[in-house]
Amino acid sequence: MAVLGAVWMGRAGRAVQSAGAVQVRSPAAGVQVEEVNGKRVYTNRLVEEHSPYLQLHAHNPVDWFPWGQAAFDKARREDKPIFLSVGYSTCHWCHVMEQESFSDPAMAAIMNEHFVSIKVDREERPDVDRVYMSFVQAATGSGGWPMSVFLTPDLEPFFGGTYFPPDDRYGRPGFRTLLQRVHEAWVTERDRIVQSAEQARQFLEAQVGGGAPTAAATLGQPVLDRTYQQIKTSYDAAQGGFGSAPKFPRPVVLNFLVRYYARTGDKAALDMTLHTLRAMALGGMHDHLGGGFHRYSTDASWHVPHFEKMLYDQAQLAMSYSDAYQITKDLFFAEVARDILDYVLRDMRGAEGGFYSAEDADSQIEQGRPEHAEGAFYVWTADQIRDVLGDELAAIFHFHYGVQPSGNVPARQDIQGELNGKNVLIVRHTLAETAATFKRPEGEARALLDMARKTLAAARASRPRPPLDDKVLVAWNGLMISALARAAQVLDEPRYLAAAQRTAEFVRSRMYDASTNLLKRRYRADHVDIDAVLEDYAFLGQGLLDLYETSFDTTWLSWAVRLQEQQDALFWDDGAGGYFATRADAANILIRMKDDYDGAEPSANSVAAMNLLRLWQMTDRQDLREQADATFAALAGRLGPQGAAVPQLVAALDFSLSKPKQIVIAGEPGAADTRAMLRLVHDRFIPNKILLLADGGPGQQQLAAWLPFVKGVSRKDGRATAYICEDYVCHLPTADLDIAAQLLDGTWKPGSPE
């Protein structure tokens, strides 16, 4: 990939005119300026956009365009390169670059004269982000946001990076210098740029195929074993988690590990999962006062977080902690799952039931002051805690949560000096150690710590809250539906089910057109826009399957089937298999990429593969199984040798290699005996299963239309009855809870009474 950066190699030492000498011209077309209290206030065309991130830049002096034809036409008409800036509203370094560079009239003058500048919200347009992030990662070896890419007017990338400081630092060119150099090269070295851009396009096109498809039949148990060994190699046995700092939660890895444990009984897979979950929950990445988790830990010990809170992290982590509780019955994990979900329901849910996207890392330091700092809402000085709690309770709290008089944040983790003297709460001593140190019974120590947390949370509520990104995205709401539905099962919590149903109804009524069977991706302030992409259909489909298996309302299952059919029509690759991330008719997308990495979010192809397998079991449609196999085959180039990059896809492969259980409960919905039979199922971690309820009414009729054997399923002796099957061959039905438990556990022996 060196050729992609070749335009810039050897140019670093060339002298360029100081941008400080550039005169600020009148604002370019698209930027209005007015005097307010003696200060210039700029307004550009982003003021018309609904994205919170784009609106953050609506008062830059930069002549920003949203992604669209108007910008591309201007670039071609004026023969200018495009500067593409991609980020999201809760991104700390996006804010820094906005303040340092995009708010500077002198910098804006260079941009407006020599470039067509486009601003994109990656959360609204993951399709655009995915293409150019692939380029940046290939060209530089890393990626991140803000992403800064220069394109030809034909949208081909030729140079890119992430955050650039405004001026040269540490021998590296700043953004001002970079703009000048790109402009010079565009004028004097156009042929090299065009050639480099064409090579970049060819490289990206080659990545889409992922190599020749491999027969799914060749992808067997060795793939699971190899993936496990790859993950195990990166495990941090001392601190939990995988790899070194910064440490991300990456729940997709934990999803695979618990399935591998269920398949093989390898206790190390479970121990790695539980250690990691416990370390994260005790660490500073966990908000001990308000609930939920921050984005990631900047250090290896889970102490100092990057403070933004993302909806997709909350959803996936709630599922991981629910799984851990289901396996271990350790109430610690149940408490953390509830902590996450209660935070989301309290602070991230709109009045109509849709969930917002994120809370920012930065917030005002004090009410009435404009200064912002990362983590300002969350961190404490020792004196602040003492002022709220009093000396005696503060001493207990300080000991338990590692609070130090001079702050507990190492200087190396406080790059900008914003946390100097502050404490990030982290459990440094166990409850038993705290109780012993202060000579209190453990029950009393727990009660005191609970009281302290509530008191501090109430005091913290008077601080300026971090800005809220209040857009609703279908994909992330789909993950949240799954989290709530699964927690409702495992924790036996009806209000979580009610919340999941309300969210699904919100998406159906506000973001879905039943007449066309099409979804829109984003809702904000009563405005719906942007055609949904693959992840919206796949993640919502998963949520609806989980919601059916919790509520047994076939409305949700029927909708999941319809969405799957639409997903196939819009995104399926008829030639090579698997799903493209974008629709074939998507405008102004350089390349239709295939999502094949399970990172902070699962890959849409990984979720789609699991959905296909679950729907195959629920409808007995062999074509869905074949599509799942074709997806595995299409992604075999990654799946075979690099399973650790796609652990959620390997989890789906685990399902396909198993003999999934079909568990059908014949019973009256809501009746005590039906609930007792369902409790047997929900108390057990059985990852490769489907769960159906034969209610004797319309729901059973709908299921029977897909699975004819369900038509004959009925209660035995008027009691809720379990039919536990493999390959649609069922044991004799039983209404006996003990026998049903043995059948679920695989301990029932043929010849025993049923």
**284 pLDDT above the threshold of 50:** yes
Average pLDDT rounded to a whole number, residues 417-432? 94
The pLDDT value given to residue 5 = 41
**652 pLDDT above the threshold of 60:** yes
Q: How confident is the model over 723-735, as pLDDT tens digits?
A: 999 877 888 899 9
Q: Which structure tokens are listed for 666? A: 């014949």
Name the one residue in this structure whose structure tokens are 């949370």: 457
Using CA atoms in the order 651, 657, 658, 664, what is the torsion angle rounded to 10 degrees?
80
Per DSSP, 353 falls in state S
Given pLDDT bands bounded at 50, 70 and 90, which one contains residue 21? very low
Q: How confident is the model over 188-220, as pLDDT tens digits?
A: 999 999 999 999 999 999 888 555 556 655 789
CB 667 within 8 A of CB 681: no
The pLDDT value given to residue 750 = 67
Average pLDDT rounded to a whole number, residues 130-157? 95
Quote the CA–CA distance of 469 and 367 in Å, as a whole number: 20
Q: How confident is the model over 433-461, as pLDDT tens digits?
A: 999 999 999 999 999 999 999 999 999 99
The pLDDT value given to residue 35 = 83
The pLDDT value given to residue 9 = 27
The region, left, alpha or beta by phi > 0 then psi within -120 to 50, assigned to residue 211 is left
Q: What is the pTM of this model?
A: 0.93
Percent of the chain at pLDDT > 70 equals 94
Which structural domains are found in the chain, ordered by start? 2-209 (3.40.30.10), 378-462 (no CATH), 661-745 (3.40.30)
Q: Residue 456 CA to chain centroid, in angstroms?
A: 29
Q: How confident is the model over 31-62, as pLDDT tens digits?
A: 998 888 888 899 999 999 999 999 999 999 99
Query: Is the peptide bond between 246 and the residue preceding it cis, with omega within 30 degrees of 0?
Result: yes
Quote the CA–CA distance of 666 and 695 in Å, as a whole number: 6
The pLDDT value given to residue 16 = 28
User: Most distant CA pair in the chain: distance in Å?
Assistant: 91
Average pLDDT rounded to a whole number, residues 116-135? 96
Give the closest residue to 317 by CA, choosing from 297, 338, 302, 298: 338
Average pLDDT rounded to a whole number, residues 229-245? 96
**CA of 444: how far to CAs of 282, 393, 450, 452, 682, in Å?**
20, 12, 10, 12, 33
Q: Which structure tokens are listed for 585? A: 């008719």
The pLDDT value given to residue 372 = 82
CB 566 within 8 A of CB 560: no
Burial class (CB in 10 A: 0-12, 13-18, 19+), 237: exposed
**17 pLDDT above the threshold of 70:** no
Quote the CA–CA distance of 128 and 57 in Å, as a whole number: 19
The region, left, alpha or beta by phi > 0 then psi within -120 to 50, assigned to residue 6 is alpha
Q: Looking at the chain, how many residues does it have?
A: 754
The pLDDT value given to residue 754 = 53
The pLDDT value given to residue 412 = 77
**27 pLDDT above the threshold of 60:** no
Name the one residue in this structure whose structure tokens are 């299409």: 634
The pLDDT value given to residue 11 = 26
User: CB atoms < 10 A from the CB of 659, how many?
Assistant: 7
Mean pLDDT of the chain: 92
Give the closest residue to 666 by CA, choosing from 723, 621, 610: 723
Q: How confident is the model over 671-706, as pLDDT tens digits?
A: 999 999 999 999 999 999 999 999 999 999 999 999
